[in-house]
Amino acid sequence: MAGIFISFEGIDFSGKTEQARRLFETLRTAGYDAELLREPGGVEIAEAIRHILLDAKNSGMTDRAELLLYSAARAQITKEKIQPALAAGKIIVADRFVDSTTAYQGYGRQLDLDFVRRVNLFATWATLPVITFLLDIPLEVAAARLRQSGKAADRLEREDHDFHQRVQQAYLQMAQAEPARFAVIDGTPSMDAISRQINETLRRRLGLRI
């Protein structure tokens, strides 16, 4: 049986990582064979690439190197983990996937969108999520959460307001263009309220018993 591929997207501090984790726990509790993955990373080679990508010291990285490194990490996790898991009938819950590259490198860095689309397909052998939750929050909320977290901003989080605004707008535009795959969720209510909405969407759209 083919598995189910679910991804979470959103700007930094949208709460998607916590929601992906909650969904993974819910699925496991309901008896589903699920795997939680994060991108970039999830397998050894991709985690090493993640380190290069997020290290604030690498401020000289070119936009093209950035696109290719995210894609390299993705090609590795797709072949090593995602495809075998789906073939075994598992549910994959991914914290980011190709839409992050479209939003951040395509729209954020303003690289050629058609090229980005082709690289995304190349890096994934066109293995794509059937449903993508976009957690949408205003940029001011994201900035306040970054301050509250007290953590040092990574290389991408250090980008300016315009960059993050392009990314956020791109996500909404992408969701509008593909309403059958995307589910846009308001990321500002409580974590519990958001989880309930995600679970309800999965019951409705995919018939999951959660």
Positions that interact with ligand TMP (CB under 6 A): 12, 38-40, 70, 96, 100-101, 104-105, 156-157
32 vs 102 by CB, closer to ligand TMP: 102
Pick 66 or 208: Cβ nearer ligand TMP: 66
**Min CB(131)–ligand TMP separation in Å:** 17
Smallest distance from ligand TMP to CB 146, Å: 11
> Any residues with CB less than 8 A from the CB of 86 and at least 6 apart, and which?
2, 3, 4, 5, 92, 127
Decide whether 15 or 208 has the Cβ nearer to ligand TMP: 15
Look up tokens 């059937």; give the residue.
Answer: 130
Beta bridge partners of 38: 95
Instruction: Look at residue 15 and give its three-state secondary structure.
Output: coil
- Nearest distance, CB of residue 120 and ligand TMP, angstroms: 9
Cα(20)–Cα(153) distance, integer angstroms: 22
- Residue 38 token pair: 């994060």
Q: Which residues pair with 8 in a beta bridge?
A: 95, 133
Strands 4-9 and 131-136: parallel
Cβ-based nearer residue to ligand TMP, 38 or 90: 38
Q: What is the DSSP letter of 108?
A: I
**Closest separation between CB of residue 138 and ligand TMP, Å?**
17
Comparison of 76 and 105: residue with beta carbon closer to ligand TMP: 105
Q: How far is the CB of 39 from ligand TMP (least distance, A)?
A: 4
Residue 27 has a CB neighbour count (10 Å cut-off) of 24
User: Residue 2 burial by CB count (10 A; 0-12/13-18/19+): exposed, middle or buried?
Assistant: exposed
User: Which of 156, 183 has the CB closer to ligand TMP?
Assistant: 156
Distance of alpha carbon 46 from alpha carbon 51, whole angstroms: 9
Min dist CB 209 to ligand TMP, Å, is: 29
